[in-house]
Chain A
Amino acid sequence: MRNVIIIGSGPAGYTAAIYAARANLEPLMFAGDEVGGQLMTTTDVDNYPGFPDGIQGPDLMTAMRKQAERVGAEIVSEMVDAVDLSSRPFKVTVGDETHETETVIISTGASAKRLGLESEKALYGRGVSACATCDGFFFKGKDVVVVGGGDSAMEESNFLTRFANHVTILVRKDVLKASPIMQDRAKSNKKISFEWNVDVVEVLGAEEGKVTGVMLKDTKTGDKREMKTDGIFVAIGHTPNTEIFKGQLSLDGRGYIVTSGGPSTEIDGVYAAGDVQDSRYRQAVTAAGSGCEAALDAQRFIEEHEG
């Protein structure tokens, strides 16, 4: 029987692990398949407080993990397959092992959305990329497109100009969602241009075995046209990772876990922290704060139910 099981390993999960470990709760964390979360595929993190020169996303996550391990958190790189929150103790199933626990902290975050096209799937890794920081290197001197209009799309585009000849940002509307500072950076980058009011309806290049272009559809006129490109990076947002909680916890219309007063779900002893329950802020620092709240609430819950 565990005191705390933490599901997920981004800033929310690691911070919860640090606090729970220091409260002598001996937390067990299942880090999942995307260990370290969304920050593992970013580069410069300039807005996490405490780093006057910024810090690389993966370095920040490695540091958080090391800190959690140093204070005594047990971290396992496995994926939780199922949970049973219908009664206490709660049950968490990983492979063929089921763990019982007094409290659960859900910090499974969100995963990058794909376009959802068959043609995208077919050329995944052959010009269709889910990780600009991993794959930008292979597009030296080439032309690429980035799909999206938010901060991620701006950041990836700027990053890709280090390698690419040219980056075209394909935006569905005629305005960007990105923050002003990120918009300015992208707009003043000479290697970046924008195409407005377009949807990508197909990724071309199946016969050649690699991306040769994209088929665009004008969202206002419906007209289609081909655009040549060597690579396509999709940065259209994230969906919360809440599949295994369906039917057990309330989810809102977009799949986010419904919480109140911070990390509390409708089940006492079950907490949700970070992006998995936050569609409004979604920052590393708000996730970390949320993870801390969850651990403190879990600690209080355990103390109240002792003996």
Chain B
Amino acid sequence: MALEFTDENFEKEVLQAENVVLVDFWAPWCGPCKVLGPTIDELAEEYKGKGVKIGKMNVDENQTVPGQFGIMSIPTLIFFKDGKPQDQVVGAQPKEKLAEKLDTFAS
């Protein structure tokens, strides 16, 4: 299962993390977000213990962090490394594409 990021834990879990972190900004009323959800959960399982952290942030419940990153569309996926955003993708993506990106950043 993917982790849950919140306004409260974002600093510690993402910005201060030493590994690669993938954040999926989503909301329960967004169709494509729901389609992407299981893919994110699967990736979270597959990349456990490989120096990659994967989690979701519900933009309905958390306003601060999405605002800071100028999120205007969901789903938006941001890839962080050493606390800095490296890449951003908008819209539901196939699993292979996300895995490819994770492998690039994790190496």
- A contact set with B: CB distance below 8 Å: 33-36, 40-42, 57-58, 77-79, 95, 124-127, 129-131, 133-135, 137-138, 209-210, 231
Contacts and interface: CB of A to CB of B under 8 A. Distances in A.
A36 B27 CA distance: 17
Contact of A137 (B31, B34, B59, B91): B59
A130 B94 CA distance: 17
Given A58-B34, A133-B29, A33 B94 contact: yes
Contacts of B91: 125, 130-131
B32 A41 contact: yes
B73 A125 contact: yes
Given A79-B94, A125-B90, A130-B91, A138 B73 contact: yes
Contacts of A79: 94
Nearest to A137: B27
B1 interface: no
Contacts of A130: 91
A202 B96 CA distance: 33
A134 B74 contact: yes
B49 interface: no
B35 A138 contact: no
29 contacts: A33-B92, A33-B94, A40-B31, A40-B32, A40-B34, A40-B35, A41-B31, A41-B32, A42-B31, A78-B94, A79-B94, A125-B73, A126-B72, A127-B72, A129-B72, A131-B31, A131-B32, A131-B73, A133-B29, A133-B31, A134-B30, A134-B32, A134-B74, A134-B75, A137-B59, A138-B73, A138-B74, A209-B70, A231-B72
A77 B35 CA distance: 10
Interface in B52-98: 59-60, 70-76, 88, 90-92, 94-96
B19 interface: no
Contacts of A95: 96
Nearest to A41: B31
A36 B72 contact: no
Contact of A58 (B27, B31, B70, B92): B31
Closest 3 pairs between A and B when the two form their complex, measured CB to CB: A125-B90, A40-B31, A125-B73
B33 interface: yes
A57 B31 contact: yes
Given A138-B71, A210-B70, A133 B30 contact: yes
Given A40-B32, A40-B35, 4 more contacts: A126-B73, A134-B30, A135-B73, A209-B70
B11 to A, nearest CB: 23
Nearest to A58: B31
A79 B94 CA distance: 8
B35 A35 contact: yes
